[in-house]
Amino acid sequence: MAAAAGFRQHDRAGVRRCRGYGRAVRRFLRVLAGFVALVVVLAIWGYLNARADPVVRRTTVTLPDWPAGQAPIHVLLMSDVHFGNATMDAPRLSRIVAQANALKPDLTLIAGDFVAGHDPDDAVRFANAFVTPLSGLHARLGVVATLGNHDQATRPGAIRAALMRARITVLMNDAASRGPLAIAGLDDGPTGNQDMPLTLAALARQKGARIALTHSPVTAGPLPADIGLLLVGHTHCGQVVLPLYGPIKPQAPAPYNCGLVRVGGLTTIITAGLGTSVVPFRFGAPPDMWLITLGPAAR
């Protein structure tokens, strides 16, 4: 009798332990399911953020060497198309082009990284596909671009040829005049393709208020004092920016990671760009483009 009672008590203890294990497993599975659901929600949210229409940011910059008698103009800055990844396809790029044209810029400038990834064959395919959407860009003084690190690391010749088919002027360590502006188009610095002396020699042959366009805010050397405006992209403004922490992987030293920076006589504008790189998500750094009013300094 005593032995049977002992066995029954042991069985009940075993049942209680099994029930405890079962409750623990169920709690773990609920926590795991909640975590997976949170990851899925964040992924969808970040993807939708990355596919959203770009925010239009506006500012006014005065240039001391503005040609006498010339009226102010509106310049639209865009960058980092990254065509071919999950967040940039022909329909989205066409919508962005329509949004850009609706702003009625006098001049559109694009600061490089037209393709996604680093595969040369993909770059050729993406370049052929972006010609039609980008050829829809309209500006009275035209569209001017430089190349970025993804362009230079893949097939820069094919990308430049595609941009030319889209009626976009590509400046690779060269310069051009558009209306009242003389534009220095510096090639990409981080990939070692930037030639500052060659670009400045080309700029010296142009007339107008001097500005510079390049992909990265990190240039191969200081700009001359007579260049009053530098327009860049590359950083994506961090792309994923966490509260209280900031960008997970900043692409430029502070304060040149994002936005408008004025140091001395030079104004730098860093756009967040249109597409994404590495991961198809954006948090705290929406896609954007800048509409800049350029004109003479007050006398």
Region 2-30: what's the mean pLDDT? 65
CA distances from 206 to 63, 71, 209, 223 (A): 16, 19, 9, 16
The yes-or-no verdict on residue 24 having pLDDT over 90 is: no
Strand order of the β-sheet with 229-232 is: 174-178, 181-185, 209-213, 229-232, 266-270, 259-263
**pLDDT tens-digit series, residues 106-132:** 999 999 999 999 999 999 999 999 999
pLDDT grade, residue 42 (50/70/90)? low
Which pLDDT score, from 0 to 100, does residue 262 have? 95
- Between 38 and 285, the more confident residue is 285
| Residue whose structure tokens are 């249109």 | 274
Count of residues for the chain?
299
Looking at residues 259-263, what average pLDDT do you find? Answer: 95
In angstroms, what is the C-alpha Rg of the chain? 26
If one counts every other C-beta atom within 10 angstroms of the C-beta of residue 11, the result is: 10
Pair of tokens at residue 193: 């393709």
Q: Please state the pTM of the whole predicted model.
A: 0.88
The SS3 call for residue 264 is coil
Contact present, 54 and 99 (Cβ < 8 Å):
yes
pLDDT at 129 (0 to 100): 98
pLDDT at 20 > cutoff 60: yes
pLDDT at 52: 97
Supply the angle between the helices 120-134 and 90-102 in degrees, to the nearest 10: 40
Closest CA to 77 of 54, 52, 94: 54
The C-alpha atoms of residue 40 and residue 31 are separated, in whole angstroms, by 14
| pLDDT tens sequence across 135-169 | 999 999 999 999 999 999 999 999 999 999 999 99
Residue 254 Ramachandran class (φ > 0 left, ψ -120 to 50 alpha, else beta): beta
Q: How far is CA 128 from CA 51, 125, 239, in A?
A: 21, 5, 26
